[in-house]
Structure 1
């Protein structure tokens, strides 16, 4: 951790970088020995990427590709992959003005879902807020990150209501469409619909519990531990993707199971 703190302190001396926060499993204490170290670089434009490249080369002993903002897509933004000593360290840009804006939207029940490579369900905008809420601030000279983190640890009721309401209409609508695909033996369409349905249920259950969802990785398993989750939620959700088959009957049977799981979720959310 001392090495990471040293890197963070050097990063905040670079133009545009406001603070640095350790995120991911390392921050939450759910990491494995080979987990990466994700450092969120919270910045305001203009970001001095030339200085970042010089620091990256110094830390790694070689030239490192450091992107411009937006270089990794509209939501992951940009950054760099570094091997520092024996640590795999990722720099991940986060526009701090954008984080503040999304937090304001969360407080009035607004969110959006963006397309991003590596995120098959899409990036839910409030993940930006959750990253900071669950992260470990390593360097923050102005104390702006710490102040915002304190605010974001209280899950907004309007966002909770919006995510649950979204799931309540989107899940049955998606399953209804999937029924038509099943009748045609369209396993591809049904599988995509099932993935979306489970993702919506995960978001709704986390919202009800006041817990931030950061991405799809491990999200189903994490839902299992929520107090309002149906019994054996993870096993039942994963079973939907086992071998649904390609015939109308087999696909229809899987959709029956998905509807039963969703029905139990609605019961839990109403209680």
Structure 2
């Protein structure tokens, strides 16, 4: 086991995962790659493979945790992974099929993408998220492209996310806010806020790989105060929140 330092631990992960059959590259992601982590932050690592990957090899390393099969996370661009404890540290491993990643990168460069639902992502994810990982993550082993944000995507993605936010707000107003349904209204405003934040950052040409700091980056954190007042005046609070989101950016 390497010395008890973050740098040596990252190097250790690169060695372990890079040696698995079929793996061509390993990248460190999340807050650890961007230097914004806390001492207790997880380690997010992606293994990039070509032509197939057998999770049995990862399972055979013998670390405590859960190792999924390929496709177990819904079959989209997030096609499986593992939650492990390695040397006392929480490590999340994501499977990345290089053929799929290269396809989504080419699609993003043409301004095309699709939306996918994904657990723990309230607004779902765009398929160009895996291209964003290439741009942001730190490569530990192998070689990966580091794409700029495509001009075509800066045109198409904001339109998509704005339209999604508008649909969410319109439905929430008609089905929830006008009928006094506080919980559903608040939940819908949260989703619309994240959709709006995606639009704002896409227009700037900034990659998004998760929702954890999305509202801060888009300047939408003040929405918290508006949502906190919903119970006192649901129609008025909804109108104020919707106006804020539609004017954002």
User: Which range, TM-score by smaller chain?
Assistant: 0.7 to 0.9
**2:228 matched residue in structure 1:** 242
Pair 1:38–1:170, CA change in 2 (3 A): closer
Q: Per-residue CA shift, 1:117-147, capped at 9, x if unaligned?
A: 222211221111111211000000xx3x1xx
Q: Partners of 2:138 and 2:105 in 1: how far apart?
A: 18
Which is helix-richer, 1 or 2?
A: 1
- SS of equivalent to 1:204: helix
* Distance (whole Å) between structure 2 residues aligned to residue 189 and residue 201 of structure 1: 18
Aligned Cα root-mean-square deviation (Å): 2.1
Please show how residues 211-230 of structure 1 align to structure 2 within 5 Å.
211-224=206-219
Q: Which whole-Å CA distance do the structure 2 matches of 1:88 and 1:82 have between them?
A: 6
Aligned equivalents of 2:128 and 2:136: distance in 1?
Answer: 12
Could you tell me how far apart the structure 2 residues matched to 1:175 and 1:66 are?
A: 38
Match of 2:16 in 1: 10
**2:27–2:140 contact (8 Å) kept in structure 1:** yes
| CA distance in structure 1 between the partners assigned to 2:85 and 2:160 by the alignment | 41
Higher share in strand: 2
In the alignment, structure 2 segments of 5+ residues that lack a partner are 1-6
TM score, norm. by length of structure 1: 0.81
Contact 1:36 1:88 survives alignment (8 Å)? yes
Looking at structure 2, the residues matched to 217 and 112 of structure 1 have their Cα atoms a distance apart, in angstroms, of: 21
Report the Cα distance in structure 1 between the residues aligned to 2:161 and 2:60, rounded to whole angstroms. 46
* Distance in 2 separating the partners of 1:79 and 1:170: 29
Do the aligned partners of 1:20 and 1:40 also contact (CA within 8 Å) in 2?
yes
Aligned residues: 241
